[in-house]
Amino acid sequence: MRTVKEKVAYLKGMLDGQDKLDEEMSKTLMEKVLSVLDDIADELEYLNDEVDYLLDVQEDMEDHLEAIGEDLASVEEVVFDDEDGCGCHHHNHDDLDVVEMECPNCQEIVAFEEEFLYDDDVEISCPECGTIVFSSDEFNELDEFDEFDEDDDYDYDDDDDQDYDED
């Protein structure tokens, strides 16, 4: 199928090649002009349909973007809108005791809440290198050496009760 421009150029050539237009030639020319106008109308209808489709797609995309924006706002509110900036949303930091330990690998100072010292199955890792700077398992093993039975009587100063052979 020829394009509209090609058809118009053909019609111009027909007119330029004729000195006189008889009735039959005028009728043929008019039919061809109407054919070109019909092609133009079809193209405009197609383009209007395409524009309508694209506007619908754009509206759907805007709706999706708005929904994504609302979801993102919800996530940002949860993650970033904490008054004290820690992201935990559940306690007051004014009364927290903080423990600071130096990473044995990279010497970075790692800070954490003191209450983690007394919890079971806790490991605190260095945020820089990932080395474990505190493990509750190791802490509890050390703590066992410090414990003693308060009902037992220990006399650390009384050396007279024991006989030592000093040779």
Digit-coded pLDDT (tens) for 108-165: 999 988 888 888 888 889 999 999 988 877 765 555 545 555 555 555 555 555 555 5
Beta bridge partners of 126: none
Confidence grade of residue 29 (pLDDT, cut at 50, 70, 90):
confident
- Whether the per-residue pLDDT at 80 is higher than 90: the answer is no
| pLDDT score at 153 | 54
| pLDDT score at 160 | 52
| pLDDT score at 163 | 52
Return d(Cα 11, Cα 159) in angstroms, integer: 130
Return d(Cα 32, Cα 111) in angstroms, integer: 87
Identity of the residue numbered 76: E
Q: Contact at 8 Å (CB) between 123 and 133?
A: no
Tokens of 145: 């050496």
- Digit-coded pLDDT (tens) for 5-14: 888 888 888 8
Confidence grade of residue 64 (pLDDT, cut at 50, 70, 90):
very high
Q: Name the DSSP class of 151.
A: T
For residue 120, which of 130, 100, 135 has the smallest C-alpha distance? 135
- Whether the per-residue pLDDT at 58 is higher than 70: the answer is yes
Q: Contact at 8 Å (CB) between 14 and 26?
A: no
Beta bridge partners of 140: none
N residues, the chain: 167
What is the model's pTM? 0.38
Mean pLDDT of 88-95: 54
| pLDDT score at 32 | 87
Share the mean pLDDT of the chain. Answer: 79
Mean pLDDT of 46-74: 94
**Which residues lie closer than 8 Å to 43 by C-beta, 6 or more apart?**
4
In a 10 Å sphere around its CB, with 0-12 CB exposed, 13-18 middle and 19+ buried, how is residue 133 labelled? buried
Backbone phi, psi, residue 101, to 5°:
-130, 150
Mean pLDDT of 51-80: 92
- Whether the per-residue pLDDT at 1 is higher than 70: the answer is no
| pLDDT score at 48 | 96
C-beta pairs of 14-23 under 8 Å, 24+ apart in sequence: none
